[in-house]
Amino acid sequence: MMKNLTNIKMPSNEVIGEALEILLKGGLVAFPTETVYGLGADATSNTAISSIYHLKSRPKINPLICHVASKEMAYTYSVETNISNLLAYSFWPGPLTLILNQKKGSSISKLVTAELDSIAMRFPKNKVFEKIIRQLDKPIAAPSANISGNVSPTTPMHVFEEFNNKIELIIDGGETEKGIESTVVDARGRHPIILRHGPITTEMIESTIKGKVVLKTENNSIESPGQLLKHYSPGKKLIINSLEVEENSSFLGFKDIMPHNKFKGAALNLSVNGDLDEAAANLFKMIRILDKNNSKNIMVAPIPNNGVGVAINDKLKRAAQ
């Protein structure tokens, strides 16, 4: 029989059992979610969480998201608010992370929260991941499954490209549906504050709470430590808001903004129909593809700055820094 070349496995009861065994002994498992792949560990284990930071080369000041399988599990460790109840009711399970106050005496590792008083909670929409959290009966802390600063993974092969066999098990959930990370909302106050833009848009949140959200400013950006760091960087230079392609570059188009017919280089289209959800789903995957050819730069067409386009532009801006 041919030997498995990778640790990527399709989900089955046996693989779920294997994942639980790894987690219980303090190991790491890569999980599919609806946003991007996560690198997960038992959120109450200092040694397991410490190996996540180590493997990703992640700065210790950048806290992790706790993944839960119910609102009740979230509120075992965090303090509910009116805003968190409304948002969890509307968007969980789904691509929304809520920042809440942590309960006193909580058993979550202090490394997960980077010693902040707050904690990030998310109920992901993925049946396999949900089942594993439920059976572990504890939150699973999981950052995106990439080396810190790199482009986030949206397929199991991306995770393998980042870590090779350093992760014992990568669960194959195919390509992720949303393609970009969850929206992060501080839900502690009277008005929600968006700390990271994502698939749940400002408009969606405002229509749910029937009120205004506060957008993160440069002044309160310290509230989400990870947002201060360089991020989503491909190896090549990214040139955003490009209407035309230059020679020696690859092009990432949108709708009808694509290179002229004579262009010999590589060009991909985020969404021929101009659908922003489709563009988000394709974003990291296409950047990874164009990063691999021998062009010098990746030029990217302008993306409309509404709906999920706000999150796409935010990621492009960081990647182009």
Q: Determine if 138 is a binding residue for ligand TXA (CB under 6 A).
A: no
- Residue type at 44? T
SS3 297: strand
Query: Residue 56 interacts with ligand TXA (CB under 6 A)?
Result: no
Judged by CB under 6 A, the residue of 11, 27, 32, 38 near ligand TXA is 38
Sign (positive or negative) of CA dihedral 71, 201, 281, 241: negative
Least Å from the CB of residue 171 to ligand TXA: 12
Report in angstroms how near the CB of residue 182 gets to Mg ion at its nearest. Answer: 10
Q: Judged by CB under 6 A, does residue 33 bind ligand TXA?
A: yes
Assess 143 for contact with ligand TXA (CB under 6 A).
Answer: yes
Judged by phi (left if over 0) then psi (alpha if -120 to 50, else beta), residue 210 lies in: left
Q: Is the dihedral of CA 58, 60, 63, 69 positive or negative?
A: positive
Bridge partners (DSSP) of residue 97 are 122, 184
* Contact present, 268 and 289 (Cβ < 8 Å): yes
**Site membership for ligand TXA, residue 144 (CB under 6 A):** yes
Which strand (E) or helix (H) includes residue 66?
strand 65-67
For ligand TXA, the closer of residues 64 and 301 by Cβ is: 64
Least Cβ distance, residue 99 to Mg ion (angstroms): 16
Per the listing, tokens 């968190």 go with 84
The DSSP element (H or E) to which 31 belongs, if any, is strand 29-31
H or E segment to which residue 102 belongs: none
If one asks whether residue 130 binds ligand TXA (CB under 6 A), the answer comes out as no
Number of residues lying near Mg ion (CB under 5 A)? 1
Determine if 144 is a binding residue for Mg ion (CB under 5 A): yes
Q: Report in angstroms how near the CB of residue 62 gets to Mg ion at its nearest.
A: 9
Q: Which is nearer to ligand TXA, 194 or 279 (CB)?
A: 194
* Integer Cα distance of 24 and 252 in angstroms: 43
Q: Which does 276 bind (CB under 5 to 8 A by kind): ligand TXA, Mg ion, none?
A: none
Given a contact cutoff of 8 angstroms between Cβ atoms, the answer to whether 176 and 33 are in contact is yes
Instruction: State the amino acid at position 102 in one-letter form.
Output: Q
Site for Mg ion in 215-234 (CB under 5 A): none
Instruction: Tell me the residue nearest to ligand TXA as measured from the CB.
Output: 226
Among ligand TXA, Mg ion, none, partner that 35 touches (CB below 5 to 8 angstroms by kind):
ligand TXA
- Residues making contact with ligand TXA (CB under 6 A): 33, 35-36, 38, 62-65, 95, 97, 99, 113, 116, 118-120, 122, 124, 142-144, 181-182, 184, 195-196, 223-227
